[in-house]
């Protein structure tokens, strides 16, 4: 009987230590939420750019025409120079 009591006490102590380790680990992982929030914000920005690409292209054409006297073509982005 003494052996069973000792094993029970040992198991209880190990469970408490494990609970404390898990609790401290979860408390130390606060930076993960910042990374997730940053990724979500980036995805929203990319989605907005995708939705309004035609309007942005017209706006860029107007700016390029005003500044350089040339127009902006999205196909020229692969060449790296506006036409």
State residue 80's pLDDT score.
54
pLDDT in tens, the chain (83 residues): 788 888 888 888 999 999 999 888 877 766 667 778 889 999 999 999 888 888 888 888 888 888 887 666 666 665 555 54
State residue 46's pLDDT score.
93
What's the pTM value of the predicted model, to 2 decimals? Answer: 0.40
Contact by Cβ (8 Å): 61, 72: yes
Residue 69 gets the label, from left (phi > 0), alpha (psi -120 to 50) or beta, of left
């Amino acid at each position: 009987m003494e052996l069973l009591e000792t094993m029970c006490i040992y198991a209880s102590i190990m469970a408490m230590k494990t609970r404390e380790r898990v609790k401290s680990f979860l408390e130390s992982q606060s930076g993960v939420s910042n990374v997730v929030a940053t990724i979500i914000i980036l995805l929203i920005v990319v989605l907005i750019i995708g939705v309004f690409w035609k309007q942005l292209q017209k706006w860029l054409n107007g700016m390029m025409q005003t500044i350089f006297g040339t127009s902006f073509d999205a196909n020229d982005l692969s060449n790296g120079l506006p036409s």
